[in-house]
Amino acid sequence: DGGITQSPKYLFRKEGQNVTLSCEQNLNHDAMYWYRQDPGQGLRLIYYSQIVNDFQKGDIAEGYSVSREKKESFPLTVTSAQKNPTAFYLCASSIQWGTNEKLFFGSGTQLSVL
């Protein structure tokens, strides 16, 4: 079955530690996205990638980094510079950037700080 797979489902970060969230899709989509969701807030865009080997900062990119070396994969690293990382992280993809196509989401990763 085609879809987006995020792992792990739950992740704990120690202070000063970098952690990486995995996102893999087999939908052959060009565009991929990372969102952060906090209670009582809408989804906020962290980074997006319109095509392989390219990515752009979203609204809240500080303290995060990404790579897009393969079309299928768009991992997100939460660095120690992100002082408030506790949130629900959602990866998504769409056929193309800028079209009216719907977003397909992964099942999310809940990141908490120890």
Partner 1 sequence: RKEVEQDPGPFNVPEGATVAFNCTYSNSASQSFFWYRQDCRKEPKLLMSVYSSGNEDGRFTAQLNRASQYISLLIRDSKLSDSATYLCVVKAGFQKLVFGTGTRLLVSP
Q: Which residue from 34, 48, 55, 74 is in contact with partner 1, where contact means CB under 8 A?
A: 48
Does 2 bind partner 1 (CB under 8 A)? Our answer is no
Show the CA angle centred on residue 44, arms to residues 2 and 37, nearest 5°.
75
- Report the site for partner 1 in 55-94 (rule: CB under 8 A): 58, 88, 90
Q: How far is the CB of 46 from partner 1 (least distance, A)?
A: 11
Both tokens assigned to 41:
């807030």
Residue among 108, 106, 92, 100 at smallest CA distance from 31: 92
Is residue 102 involved in binding partner 1 (CB under 8 A)? yes
**Which amino acid belongs to residue 102?**
K
Q: CA 89 from chain center: how many Å?
A: 6
Instruction: Give the residue with the Cβ less far from partner 1, 18 or 62.
Output: 62
Q: Which of 1, 41, 84, 114 binds partner 1 (CB under 8 A)?
A: 41
3-state secondary structure of 6: strand
Q: Is 108 in the site for partner 1 (CB under 8 A)?
A: yes
| Residue 58 or 75 with smaller CB distance to partner 1 | 58
111 vs 96: CA distance, rounded Å: 28
